[in-house]
Chains A and B, each alone.
Chain A
């Protein structure tokens, strides 16, 4: 298996623009997690899905952030409008079972100017 795939790997955008991050989980995994990593706050869970259904979005910072999982092999995290404080590395992870070992993608480094 190719592992968790994320795109793009790097994104530079200007404040106010819409940003869409993409994730393909490992085939057969039924849980998908979106994390954000910054120097100040470390790794934070934003939202997670089970069988394509959002279960807990309490980590989503504000309404500018939204996530979808239209099918078992694809998820998006959208920021609209983006702000400089959204600059971070965004990771997607998947697992078989909610309490199973989590496997992370390579991340998307987002820079908002």
Chain B
């Protein structure tokens, strides 16, 4: 059974800092991996989706990488801003799980002005 872990659970950084959020998964047989952002009391916003054949995806100040063999993905946020404060979730679609995403517990990020 796929398990997804995100460490740390919470992170606080000063504005302008570059930061990395980590996601690890136990079964490397994945179809894709998706990073989401969730603001308090709101739904999930899709940030990036990486197919299993890809190594990374970029969108603006965000860059997500995928290392299937080691069961890891990172989300890099450049020049962080207070508006980046939110919970970031990664979700894995495993090859043997049909269409079911397995979510990590999330990293709660606070960027201080």
Contact = CB atoms under 8 A, between A and B. Distances in A.
A99 B99 contact: yes
B46 A55 contact: no
Interface stretch (B10-18, B71-79, B100-108): B100-108
A112 B5 CA distance: 30
A42 B46 contact: no
B99 A107 contact: no
Interface residues of B, number: 22
B45 A104 contact: yes
A105 B43 contact: yes
Contacts, number: 48
B31 A99 contact: yes
B46 A48 contact: no
Contacts of B31: 99
Interface of chain B, main secondary structure? strand
A40 to B, nearest CB: 11
Contacts of A50: 99
Contact of A56 (B32, B89, B98, B104): B98
B62 interface: no
B111 interface: no
B42 interface: yes
Given A42-B105, A91-B43, A55 B34 contact: no
B87 to A, nearest CB: 11
A45 B99 CA distance: 10
A43 B106 CA distance: 10
26 contacts: A33-B99, A42-B103, A42-B104, A43-B89, A43-B91, A45-B100, A48-B99, A48-B100, A50-B99, A55-B99, A56-B100, A93-B44, A98-B98, A99-B31, A99-B93, A101-B34, A101-B46, A101-B49, A102-B34, A102-B91, A102-B101, A104-B36, A104-B46, A106-B43, A107-B43, A109-B41
Given A99-B31, A102-B101, 11 more contacts: A4-B43, A42-B104, A43-B91, A55-B98, A55-B99, A98-B99, A99-B32, A101-B34, A102-B91, A104-B45, A107-B43
